[in-house]
Amino acid sequence: MQTAIKVKEDVELRNPVLIEGLPGLGSVGAIAVSYMIKELKAMKFAELYSPFFPHHVIVDKDGNVRLLRAEFYFSRAGDRDVILLTGDSQAQTIYGQYEMVSKILDFVKKYGVKVIITLGGYYATVRGESPRVICASTDPALQSIFLNSGAVSSPTNNPIAGAAGLFLGLARLRGMDAACLLGETAGHMPDPRAAKSVLTVLCEALRFKISLNDLDEAIKRSDRIVKSVREIERKVESFERTLRRRKEGITYIS
């Protein structure tokens, strides 16, 4: 079995941009692209299946079983046509990552894609109310567009792992331009706040008129979860401290 892309609907697009957001750190890319699909009322036109995905299937909302997959959507709603790519998973091996990204680039090239933007998370232990968006690129012109839209430049020698990075490297080999926008995140749970930061920069740069207000509800929900997880952690810690003292008391004093 080979990685295969099934076209569900023939579409013609004018010079589209590919925007990728497969699951990764803090699910930042996946949240951002899924949000765009909904807001732009984007239409699915292709699906990708691969033996490099994990070997389980999932039961979807309609009770149907399906393979893990990635999905291609398109929208002509903004200033520029876009192809939006998200999915259930990234490839599970190094070789699979290279293989899958290569196949996707060859596929979207046929639609006239010359620019690729990948969205993802950037591991940060401390961050403010509006997480920063780190940008790196294969092209200085593209880079400066994003810096002018609020992103900051990636540090030198920064390794960017997985699909968010490989799309850039492999695009460059094919003479395509590419940039990544990575929102600062603690990364251990889905992070809609980082996704909002990323989308703010992206919409400014591409002049997309998308309301990001609906993300605020997800952010509040996420904040509540983080808060209660922290409270539980604090209680567990305090309990363990008490226990430890009691034990040591027994050893030292009695």
| Residue 100 · residue 107 · CB < 8 Å | no
211 binds a copy of itself (CB under 8 A): no
141 binds a copy of itself (CB under 8 A): no
Task: State how far the Cα of 148 lies from the Cα of 104, in Å rounded to an integer.
Answer: 29
The torsion angles phi and psi of 192, rounded to 5 degrees, stand at -65, -25
| Residue 107 · residue 174 · CB < 8 Å | no
Between residues 156 and 213, which has the closer beta carbon with respect to a copy of itself?
Answer: 156
Considering only residues 7, 9, 12, 67, which one is a binding residue for a copy of itself as defined by CB under 8 A?
A: 67
Please state at what angle helix 192-206 crosses helix 214-252, rounded to 10 degrees: 150
Considering only residues 85, 170, 205, 206, which one is a binding residue for a copy of itself as defined by CB under 8 A?
A: 170
Please state at what angle helix 140-148 crosses helix 192-206, rounded to 10 degrees: 110
Sole window of 35-43, 96-104, 121-129, 211-219 interacting with a copy of itself (rule: CB under 8 A): 96-104
User: Which residues 5-64 are close enough to bind a copy of itself by CB under 8 A?
Assistant: 6, 49, 51-61, 63-64
Task: State how far the Cα of 33 lies from the Cα of 210, in Å rounded to an integer.
Answer: 12
Task: State how far the Cα of 105 lies from the Cα of 81, in Å rounded to an integer.
Answer: 17
Between residues 13 and 182, which has the closer beta carbon with respect to a copy of itself?
Answer: 182
User: Which residues 222-251 are close enough to bind a copy of itself by CB under 8 A?
Assistant: 250-251
The H or E element containing residue 117 is strand 115-123
175 binds a copy of itself (CB under 8 A): no
Task: State how far the Cα of 215 lies from the Cα of 197, in Å rounded to an integer.
Answer: 10
169 binds a copy of itself (CB under 8 A): yes
Considering only residues 45, 78, 102, 212, which one is a binding residue for a copy of itself as defined by CB under 8 A?
A: 102
Between residues 14 and 56, which has the closer beta carbon with respect to a copy of itself?
Answer: 56
Three-state DSSP at 33 gives helix
User: Which residues 72-91 are close enough to bind a copy of itself by CB under 8 A?
Assistant: none
Judged by the rule CB under 8 A, the positions of this chain that interact with a copy of itself are: 1, 6, 49, 51-61, 63-68, 92-95, 97-99, 102, 136-140, 143, 153-162, 165-166, 168-170, 172-173, 178, 180, 250-252, 254
